[in-house]
Structure 1
Amino acid sequence: MSAAAHEVAGVLERNREGLSGICSDSWQARTLHALRKCRTAALGGHIDRCDDPSCGRLHLSYNSCRNRHCPKCQGHKREAWIRAREEELLNVPYFHVVFTMPDTLNKLCLHEPKQLYGLLFRTAWSVIRDFGENPKFMGATTGMVAILHTWGQNLSLHPHLHCIVPGGGVTAGGKWKYGRSKGKYLFPVKAMGSVFRARFVAGLRKEQGKRQSPSFYQNLFGQNWVVYCKRPFLGPPQVVEYLGRYTHKIAISNHRIRNLEEGSVTFSVKDYRHGGKKSLVRLPDAEFIRRFSMHVLPKGFVRIRHYGILSSCRKKTVLPVVRVQIGGIATKITREPLRHGICPMCKKGKLVTLMVFDSRGPPKHWLRKLEKQNIRPQD
């Protein structure tokens, strides 16, 4: 993909003096300042040389911020994570399930995100787990990979979980058992929605208690609690495509930004209610930054979680046994090797770091060497 014409970092940089006043807490401000400095001289960098004798070219690179909210730092993380998940795929149908919170809870999410989002994860898994263990639907322990998204296309607050769930599970006797209709159908979404709402409200009442009025909890039962389940993926490649689209996605990518007029940001949005029709939204800088900062997660909060037979403590023992019972994936997914650390010029040699430097920049004798080759910083 070609480089984006405009970046979130550009908006943050021209508003760097006022970021703390826009953010609701110091953690958000620290995160935005990290994004602002990403791959600039402010974070220092390193000089590398290609180890291929026929190339030997020098490369100047500025360090990345490595922040999970940064539009420029997700590519390699996403690819590495996807490849690890490919090794765990089973030769079974997979379903895409979405759990959505009503906008009535948005204000509470802004003030206590760790509590609300944690409760969302726990409640969603309890619904999937118990429906799976119900003999009426599956009668086995299934698994789930859940990914938290907090945004809508216009950067508004819209907390929801994207989940992938295998169409079967492992019985108490260790046998694989397919779900209803051999994986063509998962669980009834209306029943899931009712249980999801009841359990979430009960959990919220337990954690919030009398800090909220009885009418607040009662009103939640009058809201739409959407649980959506798509038809099963056609096969493992489609599951991987899903993972690539959702795992390390952030609130807005740089490629969606169309213009950075003085004092405002114009970006593209898709209206999924009308077939994905595209339009443009223009926001003042302060409002764009305020909306973007709403999606900075609390420090240390885990936004991708694995449950059941896909959890880290069970998958190493359960998945090999299941593969023996149901067979492996017929078509092996082939991918090109990760090219991180490969010379971008010759595409053959590996980059060897010759020196690292801080925000003061490389020594003058290195600058002269770089100037001879007309070297510019590499992303």
Structure 2
Amino acid sequence: MEALLFPGIDYRHVVLTVPEQLRHCFEEYPRLLSEMVKAGVETVIAVMSRAAGGQLRIGVVAVIQTAGRASNYNPHLHLMVTSGGLDERGTWHEIKRVSFDYLHREWQRQLFSMLEEQCRSAGLRHLLESLKQEYQRGLVAYWEPKPVRTGKGLARYLIKYVVSPPVAVSRIIAYDGQEVEYCWQDHKSHQQEKVRVTAVEFIRVLVQHMLPKGFQRVRYLGLHAVCVRQKIKEQVRRAIGAVMQEAFYFAEAVMSKLGWRAKIKGKFGRDPLQCEQCGAEMVLWKVWVPKHGVVYYLPDDAPQWSEARIPSKMDGTVQLCFGF
């Protein structure tokens, strides 16, 4: 998963949930999980496009999860979403903030519309109408406000949902040949809960999360779609490069105006950009502004300095902070 992410792009973690009253639909008809992914992607596209003031093409990695904390059947989506997108002219727009109210309402609209179209049941339509009254502010959804740089740590976190069983061995407390006792962490009470079930019931708990043969739990969509990614990769790189270059010019203009390097030289008699270890001029790696956060950073795939020039005694990172 990490190898398919775009270098130099941050990602956000989005979680979209399904009301308890509707979960049986997905358990009875697993094909609806694929439709749920489409609805989820349309939701994040709408949310980010609204924030950008125009239609955006974004990258999404979707992970389908069917198990809740108690190993019950609880279908929901974990999405890795690029922190920005391309407009119709190929310009990259970084999205800093989105409307959470709109996220909840749009996810409800997309999910309910999908179910109405796919099921066409009078009973389901009646249920959806009652749920609209119950969830007047939209369905439960989570949007990580702080982006994850390059998304690698997030990818490792999400892949656990794919490889981990509904009930990990470490959660099994006892088995006497007839019954199984296991535990889980309740996210509301933050207390460890225990349950004891028959061996047959325990098998049912595990089997209910088995998806049809060939079903893909991980989906790559939008800019991350297999047929699109290779074609768009260079365009994304150029678009990101243009944004980063503008930020670099901004940083240089601010620093040049302040004359901070010359002032430090005159005051303390040393060049702040000269490496104390090898004497080479250090490269500007990151610019952080209190009001705007990180406005410039050196991409991961940018040319790096020679490791041969880094003394072995350097075991950390030297950071310069300028609060302008």
- Does TM-score exceed 0.5, indicating one fold? yes
RMSD, aligned α-carbons:
2.4
Q: Which residues of structure 2 form unaligned runs of 5+?
A: 242-297, 303-324
Q: Does 1:292 align with 2:203?
A: no
Distance in 2, matches of 1:230 and 1:135, equals: 15
Q: 1:263 to 1:329 in 2, by over 3 A?
A: farther
Distance in 1, matches of 2:10 and 2:122, equals: 44
Distance in 2, matches of 1:231 and 1:113, equals: 31
3-state SS in 2 of match to 1:314: helix
What is the Cα deviation at residue 139 of structure 1?
Answer: 4.4
What is the Cα deviation at residue 310 of structure 1?
Answer: 1.1
Give the structure 1 partner of residue 121 of structure 2.
Answer: 210
Distance in 1, matches of 2:143 and 2:215, equals: 26
What is the Cα deviation at residue 87 of structure 1?
Answer: 4.6
Question: Does structure 1 conserve the Cα–Cα contact (< 8 Å) formed by 2:36 and 2:114?
Answer: no
Q: Does 1:96 align with 2:13?
A: yes
The two structures have a TM-score, normalised by structure 1, of 0.58
Give the structure 2 partner of residue 320 of structure 1.
Answer: 234
1:35-74 aligned at under 5 Å gives the runs none
Give the structure 2 partner of residue 262 of structure 1.
Answer: 177
Question: Does structure 2 conserve the Cα–Cα contact (< 8 Å) formed by 1:138 and 1:177?
Answer: no
Q: 1:167 to 1:109 in 2, by over 3 A?
A: same
What is the Cα deviation at residue 196 of structure 1?
Answer: 1.6
Task: Kindly provide the amino acid, as one letter, of the partner of residue 101 in structure 1.
Answer: V
Q: Does 1:177 align with 2:122?
A: no
Which has the bigger relative contact order, CA under 8 A and spacing at least 6?
1
Task: Kindly provide the amino acid, as one letter, of the partner of residue 61 in structure 2.
Answer: V
3-state SS in 1 of match to 2:227: coil
Q: 1:138 to 1:268 in 2, by over 3 A?
A: farther
Question: Does structure 2 conserve the Cα–Cα contact (< 8 Å) formed by 1:155 and 1:252?
Answer: yes
Instruction: Decide which of 155, 158, 161 is 2:71's aligned counterpart.
Output: 155
Task: Kindly provide the amino acid, as one letter, of the partner of residue 111 in structure 1.
Answer: E
Question: Does structure 2 conserve the Cα–Cα contact (< 8 Å) formed by 1:95 and 1:233?
Answer: yes
Task: Kindly provide the amino acid, as one letter, of the partner of residue 330 in structure 1.
Answer: D
Distance in 1, matches of 2:212 and 2:54, equals: 36
Give the structure 2 partner of residue 377 of structure 1.
Answer: none
3-state SS in 2 of match to 1:242: helix
Give the structure 1 partner of residue 261 of structure 2.
Answer: none
Q: 1:92 to 1:315 in 2, by over 3 A?
A: same
What is the Cα deviation at residue 146 of structure 1?
Answer: 0.7
Give the structure 2 partner of residue 220 of structure 1.
Answer: 131
Corresponding pairs, count: 242
Deviations 1:107-134 (A, max 9, x none): 222221212x122111111111223333
Greater CA drift, 152-161 or 230-239: 230-239
Q: 1:326 to 1:99 in 2, by over 3 A?
A: same
Distance in 2, matches of 1:222 and 1:86, equals: 44
Task: Kindly provide the amino acid, as one letter, of the partner of residue 150 in structure 1.
Answer: T
Distance in 2, matches of 1:302 and 1:203, equals: 20
Distance in 1, matches of 2:183 and 2:51, equals: 46
What is the Cα deviation at residue 136 of structure 1?
Answer: 4.2
Distance in 2, matches of 1:232 and 1:138, equals: 22
Distance in 1, matches of 2:11 and 2:90, equals: 20
Question: Does structure 1 conserve the Cα–Cα contact (< 8 Å) formed by 2:83 and 2:94?
Answer: yes
Q: Does 1:113 align with 2:67?
A: no
Give the structure 1 partner of residue 62 of structure 2.
Answer: 146
Give the structure 2 partner of residue 197 of structure 1.
Answer: 108
Distance in 2, matches of 1:120 and 1:214, equals: 17
What is the Cα deviation at residue 100 of structure 1?
Answer: 0.4
Give the structure 2 partner of residue 235 of structure 1.
Answer: 149
Percent of matched pairs sharing the same residue: 22
What is the Cα deviation at residue 170 of structure 1?
Answer: 1.1
3-state SS in 2 of match to 1:299: coil
Distance in 1, matches of 2:148 and 2:45, equals: 23
Question: Does structure 2 conserve the Cα–Cα contact (< 8 Å) formed by 1:94 and 1:232?
Answer: no
Question: Does structure 1 conserve the Cα–Cα contact (< 8 Å) formed by 2:8 and 2:301?
Answer: no
Question: Does structure 2 conserve the Cα–Cα contact (< 8 Å) formed by 1:201 and 1:217?
Answer: yes
Distance in 1, matches of 2:78 and 2:51, equals: 25
What is the Cα deviation at residue 208 of structure 1?
Answer: 1.6
Deviations 1:147-206 (A, max 9, x none): 111111221111100001111011211222211x3xxx3x22221221221222222122
Task: Kindly provide the amino acid, as one letter, of the partner of residue 200 in structure 2.
Answer: A
Give the structure 2 partner of residue 342 of structure 1.
Answer: none
Q: Does 1:245 align with 2:177?
A: no
